[in-house]
């Protein structure tokens, strides 16, 4: 029997490019995944300054811990650019030491090309939605007339009507995506918005599920669009309600302040995202086979789900320049959907 692997062996085996940095901002260790990313051997990486390798952090100084920044454009030695999420955590060796992990995004064009494609897809979807609705109302009207004419066919015509209504609802929801009006972002009290979303849930779909609040009362105002934020939280609470036990399930709405999180959008200055809002539930989480795709449209594990809730959340969160993630974490393990939102006046 061999014993458990050492920390060094685990560090070396990790698939995520990881660097140990000392208090003088120099690389002390780099794993093989790093060698692949930088296209440089460990022996060349060790001893180099971290800002020479990935550029400075958002404050101009090398990245210190704790730190997390999403969608950073890193210029690697040799001039190659990659988009990556950068995380730093303190290392309990000496003051200033930290471990840095780099999570490159799947390769795609840096710049506007992807947005352009998305825009034309959005326009096509808007047109399609509009064009489908007209014949649908004609079909519905015809079914209604037939319904009156003959008792025998009534169940069939009712089926036609119900299914037509279902398609119409689906299209209504899809129109949420194709709405390209800019958001109206003003200072918002996030707790008032959560209270409203909670009311909608309690009056509508929450049943016997307990919804608990765990708020940081000193939180500053969020910069956001009220309607969009309510829509986001109603969708997240609805998913949580659908995931937990109908009698004993518990949902927690939690807020807190986290400094150090930033996101860079295109060439703008990085935006600080210090306001954390979590919707937590004690359900079993999403099935493994879809867990990595929950934010994509039409991904659902529910019989009557459309798979559009989280896709809409993702779109609205993107419009806010904010971040949303799905995690299973904690002890006992629970499902956590975490939003990181901008505060008023929040340039990093």
Ligand X SMILES: Nc1ncnc2c1ncn2[C@@H]1O[C@H](COP(=O)(O)OP(=O)(O)OP(=O)(O)O)[C@@H](O)[C@H]1O
Residues near ligand X (CB under 6 A) are 235, 239-240, 243, 281, 283, 285-286, 290, 294, 299-302, 305-311, 335
Nearer to ligand X by Cβ, of 29 and 281: the residue is 281
309 near Mg ion, judged by CB under 5 A: yes
Task: Output phi, psi for 221, to 5 deg.
Answer: -65, 145
Token pair in block for residue 331 = 């002890």
58 near Mg ion, judged by CB under 5 A: no
CB of 181 to Mg ion, least distance (A): 23
Q: Nearest Cα to 219, choosing from 194, 248, 247?
A: 194
**CA of 182: how far to CAs of 178, 228, 265, 296, in Å?**
12, 11, 16, 22
| Dist CA 340 CA 319 (whole Å) | 13
Q: Classify 29 as helix, strand or coil.
A: strand
CB of 308 to ligand X, least distance (A): 4
Task: Output phi, psi for 211, to 5 deg.
Answer: -115, 110
CB of 183 to ligand X, least distance (A): 20
CB of 209 to ligand X, least distance (A): 12
DSSP secondary-structure letter at 66? S
CB of 233 to ligand X, least distance (A): 13
321 near Mg ion, judged by CB under 5 A: no
Residue for token pair 């809730």: 309
DSSP secondary-structure letter at 258? -
CB of 272 to ligand X, least distance (A): 27
239 near Mg ion, judged by CB under 5 A: yes
Nearer to ligand X by Cβ, of 84 and 241: the residue is 241
Q: Which does 306 bind (CB under 5 to 8 A by kind): ligand X, Mg ion, none?
A: ligand X
Contacts of 184 (CB under 8 A, 6+ apart): 225
Q: Which does 283 bind (CB under 5 to 8 A by kind): Mg ion, ligand X, none?
A: ligand X
Nearer to Mg ion by Cβ, of 178 and 300: the residue is 300
Nearer to ligand X by Cβ, of 188 and 235: the residue is 235
Task: Output phi, psi for 113, to 5 deg.
Answer: -65, -40
Q: Classify 20 as helix, strand or coil.
A: strand
List residues binding Mg ion (CB under 5 A): 239, 309
């Amino acid at each position: 029997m061999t014993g458990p692997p050492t920390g060094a062996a685990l560090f070396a085996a990790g698939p995520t490019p990881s660097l140990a940095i000392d208090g003088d901002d120099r690389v002390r260790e780099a794993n093989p995944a790093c060698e692949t990313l930088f296209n440089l051997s460990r022996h060349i990486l060790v001893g180099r300054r971290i800002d020479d390798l990935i550029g400075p952090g958002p404050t101009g100084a090398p990245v210190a811990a704790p730190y997390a920044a999403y969608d950073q454009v890193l210029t690697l030695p040799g001039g190659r650019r990659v988009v990556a999420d950068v995380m730093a955590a303190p290392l309990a060796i000496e003051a200033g030491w930290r471990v840095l992990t780099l999570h490159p995004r799947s390769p795609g064009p840096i710049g506007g090309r992807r947005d352009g494609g998305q825009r034309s897809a959005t326009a096509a979807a808007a047109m399609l939605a509009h064009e489908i609705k007209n014949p649908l109302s004609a079909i519905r009207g015809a079914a209604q007339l037939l319904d009156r004419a003959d008792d025998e066919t009534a169940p069939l015509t009712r089926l036609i009507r119900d299914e037509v209504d279902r398609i119409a609802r689906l299209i209504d929801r899809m129109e949420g995506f194709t709405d390209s009006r800019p958001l109206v972002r003003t200072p918002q009290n996030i707790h008032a918005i959560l209270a409203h979303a909670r009311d909608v849930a309690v009056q509508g779909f929450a049943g016997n599920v307990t919804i608990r609040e765990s708020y940081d009362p000193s939180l500053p105002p969020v910069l956001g669009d009220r309607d969009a934020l309510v829509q986001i939280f109603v969708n997240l609470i609805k998913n949580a309600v659908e995931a937990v036990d109908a009698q004993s399930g518990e949902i927690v709405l939690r807020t807190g302040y986290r400094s150090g999180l930033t996101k860079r959008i295109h060439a703008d200055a990085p935006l600080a995202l210090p306001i954390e809002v979590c919707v937590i539930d004690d359900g079993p989480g999403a099935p493994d086979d879809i867990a990595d795709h929950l934010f994509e449209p039409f991904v659902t594990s529910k019989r009557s789900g459309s798979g559009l809730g989280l896709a809409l959340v993702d779109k609205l969160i993107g419009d806010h320049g904010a971040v949303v993630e799905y995690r299973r974490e904690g002890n006992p393990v629970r499902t956590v959907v975490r939003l990181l939102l901008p505060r008023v006046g929040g340039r990093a």
